[in-house]
Structure 1
Amino acid sequence: MCEANFRVMKNVIQAPRKRIHGVQVAVNSLRNRGRELRSLFA
């Protein structure tokens, strides 16, 4: 697991900006979903 994650991180670091931007968008969408879930359970 750790080795695979390290490889993924390496690929992300070496990836072009477009792909990095895509990762950031995905992270932001996950954060937004987390907020929605918290508001539902709050």
Structure 2
Amino acid sequence: MLIIRHISSTNTVQNQLNKINKSMQRTCCLSAKLFWYPIVRYHIQ
């Protein structure tokens, strides 16, 4: 029982890490867009 519980808890930790990773990637993507968009627009004009 203890082993199964341990596996499920590590699974939960992995899921949390995946969620954090995805949200960080989303934030990085958003900030990159906010950073590059004005520069690109400025150069296009």
Q: TM-score range by the shorter chain?
A: 0.5 to 0.7
Dislocated runs of 4+, deviation >2 Å: none
Normalising to structure 1: TM-score of the pair?
Answer: 0.63
Alignment gaps of 5+ in structure 2: 29-45
Larger radius of gyration: 2
Structure number with greater CO (CA < 8 Å, separation at least 6) is 1
Normalising to structure 2: TM-score of the pair?
Answer: 0.59
Alignment gaps of 5+ in structure 1: 1-14
Q: How many residues align?
A: 28
